[in-house]
């Protein structure tokens, strides 16, 4: 079975390597950055240098493949996925874009393809866990997600490093946040309602509003739902200063002989500040709490994950936890276990117990272990 990955950054390359270990797959990675492709030499991964911002290139690339894994930056994600669907290809998507993926549902069904979207950590793994808990309850009342990827060492001005596209990270700091409160969807500013929370094995982290509910805001019928991103204390105030001072503005500024978009300039500068250096290690924290009722009793599901850098394979935790959720979804499609046509967010996978167990087993085999606790009360 031929698989192509669109994007071979830190997450994309981790996915390519993981899939290449499966002898039934012929894996190709496409990226405009030749250095990214060079790092994949020595693994059973074919490399194609291509400009994925050109949708004709995307169309030409995917036509000869059975499955597509979309790992382009968020600003390219929606149009790229649309092109993949138009090509009639089954796909898994980890791009973090602002658009509603269900806008592509009719097109996917018309093409008779299965597309699993938002297939990372949060959104992604968190959604699947929520879908599973929701399927077990008579009524889901509240959902809260805490998620964050962090460097193991708190160092540098921002005490943060990232494996994602820098533009996607900045979007977390500026994109309006969609929540559900008292049964109604509300919109709040990014970085708002910051609170300090202790996490065993990590310490005190700050949690702030972020736009990670995405599809579950409409697919899960709960009274209250929110997602919060985790950082080391102090990071939020620094990002607020940059945002309020206009460094994340997308409006062009005239400097006389030159014109500049602050967002683009800030992305270039922060990409260096947030870059993982050789030997830098990271960790991923995820906590999902789902409360509701079952047979007249109050029920509380708590799912927890603390994952760390894989020293043996030199793979960052956030690349592992994001990427392997997606590669296990690719395997699930390849094995014919999930066949629903159209757009499927991960909460749909969670409601299918066979698929849920399949993905969890694959994650466990890769050292990613979810702890689950269940509490009932009258």
Angle at 234 between CA 228 and CA 288, to 5 degrees: 20
What is the Cα 137 distance to its own chain's centre? 26
Q: Which two tokens stand for residue 346?
A: 């991960």
Q: Compute and round to an integer the Cα radius of gyration of the chain.
A: 20
Q: Which CATH superfamily is domain 2-121+318-368 in?
A: NAD(P)-binding Rossmann-like Domain (3.40.50.720)
226 CB-near residues (< 8 Å, 6+ apart): 143, 144, 145, 179, 180, 181, 209, 213
Bond prior to 10 in cis (omega within 30° of 0) = no
Closest CA to 310 of 331, 284, 285, 288: 284
Indicate the helix (H) or strand (E) that contains 136: helix 125-136
Cβ–Cβ under 8 Å, residues 158 and 234? no
Q: How far apart are CA 148 and CA 150, in angstroms?
A: 6
Question: Could you tell me which CATH class the domain 125-308 is placed in?
Answer: alpha beta
**Which residues lie below 8 Å from residue 144, measured CB to CB, with a gap of 6+?**
224, 225, 226, 227, 228, 288, 289
C-alpha–C-alpha distance, residues 286 and 217, integer Å: 19
- Segments of the chain assigned to CATH 3.30.360.10: 125-308
pLDDT in tens, the chain (378 residues): 999 999 999 899 999 999 999 999 999 999 999 999 999 988 999 999 999 999 999 999 999 999 999 999 999 999 999 999 999 999 999 998 989 999 999 999 999 999 999 999 999 999 999 999 999 999 999 999 999 999 999 989 999 999 888 998 999 999 999 999 999 999 999 999 999 999 999 999 999 999 989 999 999 999 999 999 999 999 999 999 999 999 999 999 999 889 999 999 999 999 999 999 888 999 999 999 999 999 999 999 999 999 999 999 889 999 999 999 999 999 999 999 999 999 999 999 999 999 999 999 999 999 999 999 999 876
């Amino acid at each position: 079975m031929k698989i192509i990955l669109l994007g071979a950054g830190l997450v994309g390359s981790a996915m390519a390597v993981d899939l290449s270990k499966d002898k039934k797959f012929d894996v190709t990675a496409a990226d405009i950055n030749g250095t990214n492709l060079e790092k994949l030499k020595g693994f059973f991964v074919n490399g194609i240098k291509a400009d994925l911002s050109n949708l004709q290139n995307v169309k030409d690339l995917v036509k000869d493949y059975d499955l597509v894994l979309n790992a382009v930056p968020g600003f390219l994600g929606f149009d790229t996925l649309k092109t993949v669907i138009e090509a009639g290809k089954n796909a898994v998507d980890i791009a973090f874009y602002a658009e509603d993926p269900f806008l592509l549902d009719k097109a996917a069904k018309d093409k008779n393809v299965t597309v699993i979207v938002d297939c990372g950590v949060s959104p992604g793994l968190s959604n699947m866990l929520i879908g599973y808990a929701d399927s077990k309850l008579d009524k889901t009342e509240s959902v809260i997600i805490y998620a964050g990827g962090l460097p193991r060492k708190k160092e540098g001005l921002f005490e943060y490093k990232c494996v994602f596209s820098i533009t996607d990270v900045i979007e977390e700091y500026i994109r309006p946040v969609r929540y559900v409160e008292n049964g109604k969807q509300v919109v709040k500013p990014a970085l708002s309602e910051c609170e300090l929370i202790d996490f065993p094995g990590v310490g005190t982290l700050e949690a702030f509003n972020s736009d990670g509910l995405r599809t579950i805001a409409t697919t899960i019928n709960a009274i209250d739902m929110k997602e919060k991103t985790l950082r080391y204390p102090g990071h939020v105030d620094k990002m607020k200063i940059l945002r309020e001072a206009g460094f994340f503005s997308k409006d062009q500024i005239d400097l006389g002989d030159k014109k500049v978009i602050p967002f683009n300039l800030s992305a270039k500068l922060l990409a260096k500040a947030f870059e993982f250096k050789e030997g830098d290690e990271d960790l991923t924290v995820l906590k999902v709490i789902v409360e509701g009722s079952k047979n007249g009793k109050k029920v509380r599901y708590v799912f927890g994950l603390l994952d760390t850098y894989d020293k043996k394979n030199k793979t960052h935790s956030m690349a592992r936890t994001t990427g392997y959720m997606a590669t296990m979804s690719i395997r699930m499609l390849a094995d014919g276990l999930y066949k629903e046509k159209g757009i499927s967010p991960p909460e749909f996978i969670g409601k299918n117990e066979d698929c849920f167990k399949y993905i969890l087993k694959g994650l466990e085999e890769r050292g990613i272990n979810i702890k689950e606790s269940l509490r009932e009360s009258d």
